[in-house]
Amino acid sequence: MSTRPWPPQDPDGPQRVLVAGAGAIGCTLAARLAAAGHAVDLLARGATLQALQAHGLQLEDLDGHWIAPVRPVDAATLAALPPGQAYDLVLLASKSQDLPALAAQLGGAIGPHTLVLPLVNGVPFWYFQGTGGRFEGRRVQAVDPEGTLLARLPAAQLIGSVVFVTAEATAPGRVRSTTPHLLMLGELQPDPEGRLSPRLQALCRLLQDAGIQARGLPRLRDKLWTKLIANLTSNPLSVVTGATLADIYADPVLLETVRSVMFEAMLVAAAHGARLEIDPIEFLRLGAGMGAVRTSMLQDFERGRPLELAAIGDALVELARLYELPMPATQTLLAQTRWHAQRREGALRRRAA
């Protein structure tokens, strides 16, 4: 995959940035980039758009309280972008299942020089772009069912990410984040010599100057698998049981399920050539050490929101099938999680009626 020089103009000057998705992660990064002097537009809708227009964007993080000079924009504004007005950088920060609809709203935001950075959990839609080998260019059906993401977001302009930023929207346009802002970034095509491309280095510098710990990796997928296995072993089980990470990774009964799912997923990772950094015993110890954390999926479940099960669960099963690897424990857990989610949805509907 050949890459153009980026950013196209003054590398040390302010860049034109679009953050699409004004939730916890999008607002956190938009606020820090705007505070660092970049011209940031934030794509929002509904109550969040109105709140941003009325009160601006407010972020509380470890460095203080920021009232950020972002410009809220809606989909119609992007659709009407004149030719030549594409952004230098586009961040996509929605739940995985919302990404195709979000990408469809970008209009002329992405031009030939734009770098696109999806910040989404789960198996990414770009997983097989730049891998070489027998699956090169393949689509991950579970996260890109219509192929719209691969069609709309050019692989040569994508930078992959693993998101370790944690944040919570406390109200529309208001976000709190109580951990360091950490992002792992990488080109889709791994570099055999372990080098980082100039544009990846430039992007990391831009983010670091805005207070975001951005680390470039030559083989991003290795790190991605660690996060995937963390999400797969804890998020669905937290919905089924209501348990926190401390319980999930320490309770002897729950550990049975965690271990089964973890070993199934580690086999899939290895089959796909990942150099896994996971020592299983240490992984469980670290998980338990995270304390009484309620996973993002448990929080979505309790709020009656859709769960990211396709990206965190189904996509992994899809990757397993490519090597005819069974994932019985994972599939049972996913089915139980869906059962709980449907029951909860029904209960919320009845309560609202």
Ligand X SMILES: CC(C)(CO)C(=O)C(=O)O
Ligand Y SMILES: NC(=O)C1=CN([C@@H]2O[C@H](COP(=O)(O)OP(=O)(O)OC[C@H]3O[C@@H](n4cnc5c(N)ncnc54)[C@H](OP(=O)(O)O)[C@@H]3O)[C@@H](O)[C@H]2O)C=CC1
Is residue 295 involved in binding ligand X (CB under 6 A)?
yes
The tokens 């956190």 sit on which residue? 28
- Using the rule CB under 6 A, which residue among 250, 270, 293, 325 binds ligand X? 293
Give which of 7, 55, 56, 12 is closest to 31, Cα–Cα. Answer: 56
Known catalytic residue at 95: no
Say what angle helices 220-241 and 252-271 make with each other, to 10 degrees. Answer: 150
- Which partner from the list ligand X, ligand Y, none does 50 bind, CB cut-off 5 to 8 Å by kind? none
Of 65-73, 293-301, 319-327, 333-341: span binding ligand X (CB under 6 A): 293-301
Strand order across the beta sheet in which 213-216 lies: 159-163, 182-187, 213-216
Catalytic residue among 227, 305, 340, 344: 227
**Per-residue interface string for the shown chain with ligand X, residues 219-258, x marking contact by CB under 6 A:** -----------xx--xx-----------------------
Residue type, 92: L
HSE of 207, CA atoms in CB hemisphere, 13 A: 25
What is the residue-wise DSSP string for 296-325? HHHHHHHTTPPP-HIIIIIHHHHHHHTTT-
Taking the complex as a whole, the smallest distance from the CB of residue 225 to ligand X amounts, in Å, to: 13
* Residue with Cβ nearer ligand Y (4 or 152): 152
| Sites for ligand X among residues 325-344 (CB under 6 A) | none
Query: Which of ligand Y, ligand X, none does residue 295 bind to, with CB < 5 to 8 Å depending on kind?
Result: ligand X
Least distance to ligand Y from the beta carbon of 124, Å?
A: 10
Alpha carbon distance 75, 54 (integer Å): 18
189 is a contact residue toward ligand X (CB under 6 A): no
Please state, in angstroms and rounded to a whole number, the distance separating the CA atoms of residues 173 and 58. 6
Q: How far is the CB of 249 from ligand X (least distance, A)?
A: 10
- C-beta of 84: minimal distance to ligand Y in Å? 24
List the Cα angle 311/283/227 in 5-degree steps: 25
- Using CB under 6 A as the binding rule, whether residue 196 contacts ligand X is answered as no
Nearer to ligand Y, 150 or 309 (CB): 309
Contact partner, 209, from ligand X, ligand Y, none, Cβ < 5-8 Å per class: none
Could you tell me what percentage of the chain is helix, strand and coil, using 3-state DSSP and rounding each to the nearest 5?
Answer: 45, 15, 40
Where does this chain bind ligand Y (CB under 6 A)?
21-26, 43, 45-46, 48, 93-96, 98, 101-102, 105, 119-121, 163, 165-167, 169, 296, 308
Please return the burial class of 120, using the count of CB atoms within 10 Å of its CB with bins 0-12, 13-18 and 19+: buried
- Nearest of 227, 241, 245 to residue 308 by alpha carbon: 227
> Would you tell me which residues interact with ligand X (CB under 6 A)?
230-231, 234-235, 293, 295-296
Q: Which residues are catalytic?
A: 227
